[in-house]
Amino acid sequence: MTSKKQVQHMKWWGWGVEGVAFHHEDKPEFAPFVVKAVGLDVRTSEKAVVLPFDQLDVPAPKIDASFFAALAAIVGEDNVTSDAMERVVHTYGKSLRDLVRVRSGKIDRTPDVVVYPADEAETQGIVDAAVAAGAVIIPFGGGSNIAGSLEPLAAEQRTVVSLDLGRLDRVLDVDADSGLARIQAGALGPSLEAQLTERGWTLGHFPDSFTYSTLGGWVATRSSGMQSDKYGDIADIARGLRVVRPGGTLVIRAIPSASTGPSVREMILGSEGRLGVITEVTVQVHRIPEKRDIYAYFFPNWETSLKAMQEIAESDATPSITRVSDARETGFSLATSKASKGMSKFLSGTVLPGLMKRKGYKLDEICLSFIGYEGGEAHAKHQKALVDAIIKKHNGMGVGKGPGVLYDQKKFDTPYLRDFLLDQGAAGDVSETAAPWSKLAAVHDGAYAAAQGAFDKLGKVGWIMSHVSHSYHSGACLYFTFAFVFGDDDKLAEYDLVKRAIQQSFIDNGGTISHHHGVGLEHSPWLEQDISTEGVGLMNGLFESADPNGQFNPGKIIYGGAAVTVPAATKA
């Protein structure tokens, strides 16, 4: 949907824009795969119907006429609204919990008003007016969050302002000497990347949500992208910040590194709106490299895959992407390939399976890996030589650039699959963590066991699969996807049982509760187990001192109240 001033939003009930969806018809192996995985036949299953919007019971907005008028005086009448559709679009992100609720019309609390400032000065005006009016402010970027970072607390009695940064979408300036670009926080991935490309630069930040997420949102949730191995996580990339706070703007200049006390820059990173509204970020940008290749490899099994990834991380090589799927996810990738091309075609011949057999591979254990090389021709070649030697040592095999090109083309399409499964009455969702190399196998197996335990409790055939998505010197991010068919009872309760078991297994095996999705409401019950009671205490002190009346996205990251249904984690 398009709202005020042409700010583009996703479907109110799902991912992406109207008319784009996942289809299985051109992927002949997909349907049988899903039958085996979760016992659902997508060819014959009954399709759930999303309630028509006008049948939703949208609560009335709670806002004084005078406060509404004050906001209109700041941004103009066209840029402030209490329209029901606008409020629903700004109520949730796109987590599975969000989609289940919004599709079924469970909307306890929407923002009361949505405002679209044109610039930082208007943002300051809105913040100051809202603080003075005793209102709550929730900044809104692309709305792609899946950690419950956007929803107003159900019991919130104050007026809730959704502050949509969508009009702040420009690359303001590129400092070519320093490789630094000043970009407004509301710029969506494709828009900012296009504006940079025009000038010969790239940000190199490509999260799965790229198409519908913003720079400000990336900073507010500590995002990581597919090429972060080379370009760094957003925490490395974001050097300068402008954050509107009550009465004034916090300015962190773009300094390459500083020893000026505890890092305020790193306080804003991941703050999910609790410390103010990010309006501008100065980011590291890079000249578009001569080479930007993704190569595909196969490993005989998961254990070997992890060992090879670890050795690459320890080596002199600095690839741009280091991704490897476990055997289950590899099987899924092959099954979701289109009939005419992709990995499926690769393996349907006789050459590759023959080669694999000679290397002692078992086809149900093979792991598919993508490794990216960027830079000048000579550099990319040198990187590949370093990596190839390690892969060879671990009995891996390269299969060229073909599959990587396909991967690169469809990498942002995965979220559509979740809507497709919801349409069939099934949950498909993700959970991600990071851990030291020495603990990754245990984290992986622990998550599998936890999910299986939850599926057993629910009496369901469930599915879980995983990949390493980013590597660091000391460890990696493990990304899990899980699915099962909903029963007739409380869908969220079923989902919570599985998701929470997985989250708890991360902590129990030495991982973090999130590598790049943020905390929001969904992950907050584990924060204390993750960063310790004293760690939460320091962070809470920061929030309370910065926002004594809890007006900035209250309850997120650290939930201090009691009225929302985020139960304490139960120790496994």
Catalytic positions = 479
Q: Applying CB under 8 A, does 375 fall inside the site for its own copies?
A: yes
Q: Which is nearer to its own copies, 376 or 560 (CB)?
A: 376
* 544 in contact with its own copies (CB under 8 A): yes
Choose one: 80-88, 280-288, 326-334, 559-567; the region binding its own copies (CB under 8 A): 280-288
* Least distance from its own copies to the Cβ atom of residue 297, Å: 21
Segment near its own copies (CB under 8 A); pick from 117-125, 267-275, 346-354, 563-571: 267-275
* Cα 128 from Cα 115, distance rounded (Å): 14
- Residue from 57, 198, 316, 489 touching its own copies (CB under 8 A): that is 316
User: Does residue number 382 form part of the binding site for its own copies (CB under 8 A)?
Assistant: yes
Decide: is 275 part of the binding site for its own copies (CB under 8 A). Answer: yes
What is the rounded CA–CA span in Å between residue 109 and residue 88? 9
Applying the rule CB under 8 A, the residues between 453 and 492 that interact with its own copies are 470, 472-477
Q: Which of residues 6-25 bind its own copies (CB under 8 A)?
A: none
For the sheet with 475-485, list strands across it: 397-400, 291-299, 367-375, 321-325, 463-471, 475-485, 426-436
Decide: is 249 part of the binding site for its own copies (CB under 8 A): yes
Q: By CB under 8 A, what part of segment 190-229 binds its own copies?
A: 221-224
Q: At which residue do the structure tokens 């490794």 appear?
A: 371
**Min separation Cβ 207 and its own copies, Å:** 11
538 lies in the site for its own copies, by CB under 8 A: yes
d(CA 167, CA 179): 25
Phi, psi of 426 (to 5 degrees): -125, 150
149 neighbors 221 (Cβ within 8 angstroms): yes
Nearer to its own copies, 3 or 310 (CB): 310
Beta strands 321-325 and 426-436 are: unpaired
Window 284 to 303, contacts with its own copies (CB under 8 A): 284, 286-287
Q: d(Cα 324, Cα 337) in Å, to the nearest integer?
A: 17
Q: Is 379 in the site for its own copies (CB under 8 A)?
A: yes
180 binds its own copies (CB under 8 A): yes
Give the 3-state DSSP-derived string for 215-240, with helices as H, strands as E and coil as C.
Answer: HHHHHHHCCCCCCHHHHCCHHHHEEE
Which residue of 5, 182, 245, 345 would you call a contact of its own copies, by CB under 8 A? Answer: 245
Q: Which is nearer to its own copies, 348 or 532 (CB)?
A: 532
Strand partners, 294: 372
Q: In angstroms, rounded to a whole number, what is the distance separating the alpha carbons of residues 292 and 290?
A: 7
- Contacts (CB under 8 A) with its own copies, residues 419-448: 434-439
Sign of CA dihedral 498, 35, 420, 49: negative
Partnered with residue 430 across adjacent β-strands are 481
500-519 positions binding its own copies, by CB under 8 A? 510-519
